[in-house]
Amino acid sequence: MGLSRESMGIKSVDCGLEIKKRKEDDKVIALAGNPNVGKSTVFNQLTGMNQHTGNWPGKTVANAQGWCSDGQQGYVMVDIPGCYSLMAHSTEEEVARDFICFENPDAVVVVCDATCLERNLNLVLQIMEATTKVVVCVNLMDEAKKKKISLHLDMLEQRLGVPVAGTAARSNQGLDQIYTGLKRCLEQTEEEGEKPALIQYPQYIEDAIARLLPAIEQVAKGKEEARWLCARLLDANDNLMEAVRKYRKPVAETEEVTSCLAEIWEEWKAAGITQEQVSDDMAAVFINKAEDLCKGIVEYENQTYNRKDRKLDWIFTSKATGFPIMFLVLLGIFWITITGANYPSELISNVLFKLEAWLVGLADASGVPVIITELLIHGVYRVLAWVVSVMLPPMAIFFPLFTLLEDFGYLPRVAFNLDRCFKKCSACGKQALTM
């Protein structure tokens, strides 16, 4: 996005988010997930807060936190910006990665979209590589049910080896499972938490990790982190190196580590393995693992589950009908807003102006000086009355209508239709919604 870090408020996070615990033993829980999977809804339901949620990605830009409790244990929930990956590069993703990997939350809840679990597992796997204290929350179960997708979450739990909770946060279902999951996750001892790594890289990378591990283990905080750091160092992502330097200075600057890394790279170079291939192989491992994990877990009861959806999409975005329908819908909304608002507007202004006349009468009768009557009633009150009667009804009509469109899922289609126009002004289609 074309916004600077400062304007997005991320700077404050960079300088260290201050975690506000109510009690000393409150646990810090990071709430991560892909964009647009209902993370903020889960956050709001858990904490009883009212952060704005919306049907487009990138709602949560900076970390927000809230406090909640399951009765005994207090948790500080930190809502992390949505991201597809920890290895990437947008500011949101950096914020997410730095918090999860380097700020040591007590556990991470990864929120997933039940309607496309496979894609979401990429992030789950990446987070699980960095920490074992993970609870997977498969959200939008209601949506999946509507689309006739059945998910065997018990199987997923078995395969991943971490607690899995199926939720429908919008209707407040299954959120208690998150608490039980967290409890199980936090109570497990060091040894119980030790499982074989889910992600197995190609042999040449595994060999390199094995060589690098002893050097890293001396300086890293835990076993998982050591393995994760090895893999990331071999990936040689500049951006990540910067973060490692910032948060784990010893790791980045030990003589042993740097010489070992240089050695490995030298050998790879000799063997004709390019840096690009290494990072390709690393990315592919996660995607393929996610595919494997989903086999047998996700079942489409009805192969044509999205036929209706697609028919609608065709109507809303085809060359012939996409634009006319869009204009009609927007025009319709504005028309309803403007004409529909006239009636309540008139009503409100009538009532308010009657009240004004009555106030003036009252002021006259009680002998208030004319200048004050003029100032307060004919001045302040009248302006206020006008503003309220003109502005309130359109807003009261427009925003519910807009929310309706959002629920219906029309807004992403508008963004899709208009992206080209916005690209010309170096923006992107999502910004159409703001206008």
Partner 1 sequence: MSENICLADLKRGQKAVIAKLAAYDDMRRRLQDIGIIEGTTVECLGKSPLGDPTAFLIRGAVIALRSEDSGRVLVQSNGEEKANRHFGKEMVAAAVSLEE
Q: Collapse the DSSP code of 29 into the 3-class scheme (helix H, G, I; strand E, B; otherwise coil) and give the result.
A: strand
Least distance (Å) between residue 363 CB and partner 1: 56
Q: Using CB under 8 A, which of 254, 317, 349, 373 touches partner 1?
A: 317
- Please tell me the distance from the alpha carbon of residue 412 to that of residue 429, in angstroms, as a whole number: 9
Q: What is the DSSP letter of 429?
A: G
Residue 116 makes contact with partner 1 by CB under 8 A: yes
Pairing of strands 74-79, 27-33: parallel
Q: 82 vs 174, which CB is nearer to partner 1?
A: 82
> Near partner 1 by CB under 8 A, which window of 85-93, 186-194, 350-358, 395-403?
85-93
> Near partner 1 by CB under 8 A, which window of 258-266, 279-287, 350-358, 378-386?
279-287
Q: Using CB under 8 A, which of 155, 197, 198, 428 touches partner 1?
A: 428
- Please tell me the distance from the alpha carbon of residue 85 to that of residue 130, in angstroms, as a whole number: 12
- Please tell me the distance from the alpha carbon of residue 135 to that of residue 120, in angstroms, as a whole number: 14
Least distance (Å) between residue 415 CB and partner 1: 5
Q: Using CB under 8 A, which of 206, 253, 256, 291 touches partner 1?
A: 291
Pairing of strands 164-166, 27-33: unpaired
Residue 409 makes contact with partner 1 by CB under 8 A: yes
Residue 284 makes contact with partner 1 by CB under 8 A: yes
- Please tell me the distance from the alpha carbon of residue 42 to that of residue 20, in angstroms, as a whole number: 20
Rounded to 5 degrees, what angle do the CA atoms 350, 353, 354 make? 80
Residue 434 makes contact with partner 1 by CB under 8 A: no
Least distance (Å) between residue 412 CB and partner 1: 5
C-alpha 134: how far from chain center: 17
> Near partner 1 by CB under 8 A, which window of 137-145, 200-208, 255-263, 427-435?
427-435
- Please tell me the distance from the alpha carbon of residue 298 to that of residue 311, in angstroms, as a whole number: 23
Residue 60 makes contact with partner 1 by CB under 8 A: no
Name, in order, each residue with C-beta under 8 angstroms of 246's C-beta and a sequence gap of 6 or more: 102
> Near partner 1 by CB under 8 A, which window of 66-74, 173-181, 305-313, 351-359?
305-313
Q: Using CB under 8 A, which of 17, 51, 56, 213 touches partner 1?
A: 56
Q: What is the DSSP letter of 138?
A: E
Residue 275 makes contact with partner 1 by CB under 8 A: no
Residue 73 makes contact with partner 1 by CB under 8 A: no
Strand (E) or helix (H) holding 31: strand 27-33
Residue 119 makes contact with partner 1 by CB under 8 A: yes
Residue 201 makes contact with partner 1 by CB under 8 A: no
- Please tell me the distance from the alpha carbon of residue 14 to that of residue 102, in angstroms, as a whole number: 12
Q: Using CB under 8 A, which of 103, 143, 217, 313 touches partner 1?
A: 313
- Please tell me the distance from the alpha carbon of residue 336 to that of residue 62, in angstroms, as a whole number: 36
- Within 216-255, which residues bind partner 1 (CB under 8 A)? none
DSSP 46-104: HHT------SSS----S-EEEEEESSSSEEEEEEPPP-S-SS--SHHHHHHHIIIIIS-
- Judge contact between 132 and 224, C-beta under 8 A: yes
Residue 88 makes contact with partner 1 by CB under 8 A: yes
Rounded to 5 degrees, what angle do the CA atoms 395, 401, 404 make? 140
> How long, in residues, is the chain?
435
Q: Which of 105, 58, 56, 111 is nearest to 78 (CA)?
A: 105
Name, in order, each residue with C-beta under 8 angstroms of 40's C-beta and a sequence gap of 6 or more: 51, 52, 53, 59, 60, 79
Residue 23 makes contact with partner 1 by CB under 8 A: no
With contacts defined by CB under 8 A, how many residues of the chain interact with partner 1?
52
Residue 66 makes contact with partner 1 by CB under 8 A: no
Residue 89 makes contact with partner 1 by CB under 8 A: yes
Residue 310 makes contact with partner 1 by CB under 8 A: yes
Q: 68 vs 418, which CB is nearer to partner 1?
A: 418
Residue 84 makes contact with partner 1 by CB under 8 A: yes
Pairing of strands 298-300, 149-151: antiparallel
Name, in order, each residue with C-beta under 8 angstroms of 353's C-beta and a sequence gap of 6 or more: 385
Residue 104 makes contact with partner 1 by CB under 8 A: no
Least distance (Å) between residue 326 CB and partner 1: 9
Q: 3 vs 351, which CB is nearer to partner 1?
A: 3
Least distance (Å) between residue 1 CB and partner 1: 5
> Near partner 1 by CB under 8 A, which window of 164-172, 198-206, 302-310, 355-363?
302-310
Residues forming contacts to partner 1 in the complex (CB under 8 A) are: 1, 36, 56-58, 84-85, 87-90, 92, 116-119, 122, 276, 279-280, 283-284, 287-288, 291, 298, 306-307, 309-311, 313-314, 316-319, 322-323, 409, 412-413, 415-417, 419-421, 423, 428-430
